Amino acid sequence: MIVRDTDTETWQFLADFNPGNLPLRTVKVMVPGVVAALNAGLEAVEGDIVSITDDDAAPHCDWLERIAAYFINDSCIGGVGGRDWVYQNHKLEDDSREVVGKLQWFGRVIGNHHLGVGTPREADVLKGVNMSFLSCAIAPLRFDARMRGTGAQVHFELAFCLALKRAGWKLIFDPQVEVDHYPAKRFDEDKRQQFNHIAFTNAVHNETLALLEHFSDVQRLVFFIWSSLVGTREALGFVQWLRLLPSEGSLSGQKWLASMRGRWQGFCTWQQYQQTHQKRDRRLLVSTDAE
């Protein structure tokens, strides 16, 4: 269990909690953001499977059993996720979608994990509230510390899952691998349903960085054209701004500007990282030639 050093209520609960035969281990994290917390947890992992959920979620009783069965039966599976049944103000969001956790070739990311139905199938992205990984598959990986945000760091799982797929592992989404999700109040800049230009820009930055890392040069070009001209409701392009303008007025303009800022900043972060690695590779090449 990962607990932030400032979370006095959780520390008090743990002090009074009797885990019985449960081998509960607590990891303290002092750096803001979900990425630092998860990486601290990964450093402490000793088992064959890493199962991740949130402090505002409750896994179903057969959660671990269903997850373990996938890793036992197929050695090519690196990650397993499932549906999170979302309760907003005690009301269940009970809808259904067949397409879940997919990345389209031009850059559109489809989530829908909280609405997924149907049979188990391969996915490109799992959701942070309900995802498990084979320890040996993720041993070389860590969650990307370049993800922006002081709390939620939206799209951190996108970057991680795409890195795992690039390494050749399969990801499975099974709607019967279930958790109940009660979205809690956030205390960072990301207030979920309330627009905040910093949180909006950070989310678009993180998505852009993850996709640029994953795509080929041709896909990157197509992605920038599509995202600038069309985009999505969470990362507006020009067409999405026009579509939302009648209903949201000036707010749509603020979202569009935040989206463009996030796209540009994501590109700059990616480019800076590429240049740093190219310089390092050149130094290594010079060093090798000298020997």
CA–chain centroid gap for 251, Å, is: 26
Higher-confidence residue: 237 or 90? 237
For residue 113, pLDDT over 80 is answered with yes
β-sheet bridge partners, residue 121: 173
Q: Please tell me the distance from the alpha carbon of residue 259 to that of residue 201, in angstroms, as a whole number.
A: 6
pLDDT at 268: 97
Q: How far apart are CA 228 and CA 238, in angstroms?
A: 6
Using the predicted structure, report yes or no on whether residue 289 has a pLDDT greater than 60. Answer: no
Q: What is the pLDDT of residue 202?
A: 96
Interhelix angle 217-229/238-248, rounded to 10 degrees, is 30
32-43 pLDDT, tens digit per residue, is 899 999 999 999
Comparing 5 with 86, the larger pLDDT belongs to 86
**Which position has the higher pLDDT, 180 or 191?**
180
Q: Which two tokens stand for residue 231?
A: 């985009």
Residues 66-70, mean pLDDT to the nearest whole number: 98
- Read off the amino acid at residue 213: E
> What's the Rg (C-alpha) of the chain?
20
Residue 290 has pLDDT above 70, yes or no: no
Given 3.20.20.60, 3.90.550.10, 3.40.630.30, 3.40.470.10, which CATH number is that of 46-135+145-181? Answer: 3.90.550.10
The answer on pLDDT for 96 being more than 70 is yes
Contact 146, 35 (CB under 8 A): no
What is the Cα–Cα distance from 273 to 205, expressed in whole angstroms? 14
What is the mean pLDDT of the segment spanning 263-274? 96
Residue 110's pLDDT band (boundaries 50, 70, 90)? very high
Q: What is the mean pLDDT of residues 113-141?
A: 97
Q: Is the pLDDT of residue 79 over 90?
A: yes
Query: What percentage of the chain has pLDDT greater than the value 70?
Result: 96
Average the pLDDT over 149-158 and give the result.
94
Instruction: Check if the beta carbon of residue 161 is closer than 8 Å to that of residue 133.
Output: no
Average pLDDT over residues 54-82: 97
Residue for token pair 């070009």? 221
For residue 186, is pLDDT > 80?
A: no
Phi-psi region of 82 (alpha: psi -120 to 50; beta: other; left: phi over 0): beta
Give the model's confidence band at 213: pLDDT under 50 very low, under 70 low, under 90 confident, else very high. Answer: very high
| Mean pLDDT across 182-203 | 84
User: Which of 85, 155, 90, 74 has the alpha carbon at shortest distance from 122?
Assistant: 74
Whether 267 has a pLDDT exceeding 70, the answer reads yes
Residues 6+ apart with CB under 8 A from 118: 98, 175
Total-model pTM: 0.91
Strand partners, 4: 29
Contact in structure between 232 and 108 (CB atoms under 8 Å) = yes
| pLDDT grade for 17, boundaries at 50, 70 and 90 | confident
What pLDDT was estimated at residue 184?
84
* Short-list 23, 124, 132, CA closest to 70: 132
3-state secondary structure of 57: strand
Is pLDDT of 223 > 90?
yes
- The domain segmentation of the chain, as residue ranges, is 46-135+145-181, 197-290
